[in-house]
Structure 1
Amino acid sequence: MKQSQKGKGSKQVISFSAIGIMNALVDIGALNLLMLLFPTDDRIQLISYNTIAYTLAITNSYFWNAKLTFPSKAIHDRKQIVLFIVQAVIALAVSNLVFYGALYLFDLEWISIANYIERNIAKGLAMFLSSASSFFMMKHIVFPRTHRSPGQERSR
C-alpha cells in the first residue's frame, strides 16, 4: 500500500473517531434523557429508547461523515442513501442485540450495580460494536473507492 493511501486511511479513522465521539454524546445523552424523563425497567421499552437515541446519532453520523470522513466519495445519490440506510439498520440491529444481551446478563445478577450504571455499560458496549460495524460498512459499501474523472471531483 502506498504511503499516501496509508495516510488517507489514518485520517479517515481519526475523522470517523472524532465524529464517533460526537455521535456517542448524542446517542448516550438521548438514551439517558429518555430514561430520566420516562423511567422503566422494561427491556423492550429500553430497546425503543436505544433505537431513538441511535437514530439521532446515525443521522448526525451521515451528515458529518459525508462532509468530513468520506467527502470525495459522498455523492448523495439514491443508491448511496439507500446503502447508508441499509448499513444503519444493520448497525442498529447490532446495537439493539448487544444492548439487550448486556441488559439480560446484568439481570442475571452475577454482579450487583445500580441499574443506571448497568444500562450505560450496556449502551457503551452496543455503541462500540455497532460503530465498528458501521465504519466498515460505510468504508466498503456506502462510500467505496470510486474512480471519477477530474471534472466530477467535488470540492470540499
Structure 2
Amino acid sequence: MTKQKAKRGPLQFLQFSVIGVSNAGVDIAVLNLLLLLFHPDSRMLLVLCNSIAYSLAVANSYLWNVNITFKRSAIGSKRQRILFVIQGLISLGVSNLVFIGTNEILDYTGVPNWLRYNLAKGLAMFLSFLASFFMVKYFVFKDFGSRFIKEKE
C-alpha cells in the first residue's frame, strides 16, 4: 500500500502541475485583458483585476482536478466544496498579497507597468500554486477511503 501511495504523490503533483499550466493561461490572459480594458492605476483596481482572473483560474482548477488529479478522493461532497472554496480564498489572499507587494517593489525600479504586472503575477501564481496544491491534497481531497481501509486492516 505504501508503494502505491508513494507513486500517487509524484503523479498527483505532475497532474496538478499540468492543470496548473492551463490555470496560469486563464489567469494571465484574463488579467491582461482586464489591464488592457481598464488601465487600473490604483491598488484596489489591481486587486479587483487580479481577483477576477484568479477566481476564473480556480474554477478551471476545480473542474479539472476533481475529474483528473483527485478523482479517487474527490467525492463532490458539500464538505469538499466548502473546503475547496476556503482554500481558494486563502490562495487568493496569497496571490493578492504577493501580486501587490511585488508590484510595489518593482514600481521603484522603473519597470514599465505591463512588465511589472506580469512579473508580479508570475511570482503570485507560483506561490499561490504551491499553497493551493498542499491545501487541496491534504485538506480538501484527502483520501479518506484509503485511510478507512488501512484502519480496518
Q: Normalization by structure 1: what TM-score?
A: 0.90
Cα pair 1:95 1:127 within 8 Å, conserved: yes
Q: Distance in 2 between matches of 1:2 and 1:73?
A: 17
Equivalence for 1:134: 132
Cα pair 1:16 1:69 within 8 Å, conserved: yes
After TM superposition, list the pairs within 5 Å mapping 1:1-156 onto structure 2.
2-107=2-107, 109=108, 111-147=109-145
Q: Distance in 1 between matches of 2:4 and 2:74?
A: 20
Query: 5+ unaligned residues in a row in structure 2: which ranges?
Result: none
Shift of 1:101: 0.6
The root-mean-square deviation of aligned C-alpha atoms, in Å, is: 1.6
Ranges of 4+ aligned residues in structure 1 off by more than 3 Å: none
Count of residue pairs the alignment pairs up: 148
Can you list the C-alpha shifts for 1:29-81, whole angstroms capped at 9, x where unaligned?
00000001111221210110000000000000001001010001111111110
Identical-residue share of aligned pairs (%)? 47
Query: 5+ unaligned residues in a row in structure 1: which ranges?
Result: 151-156
Indicate the structure with greater helix content. 2
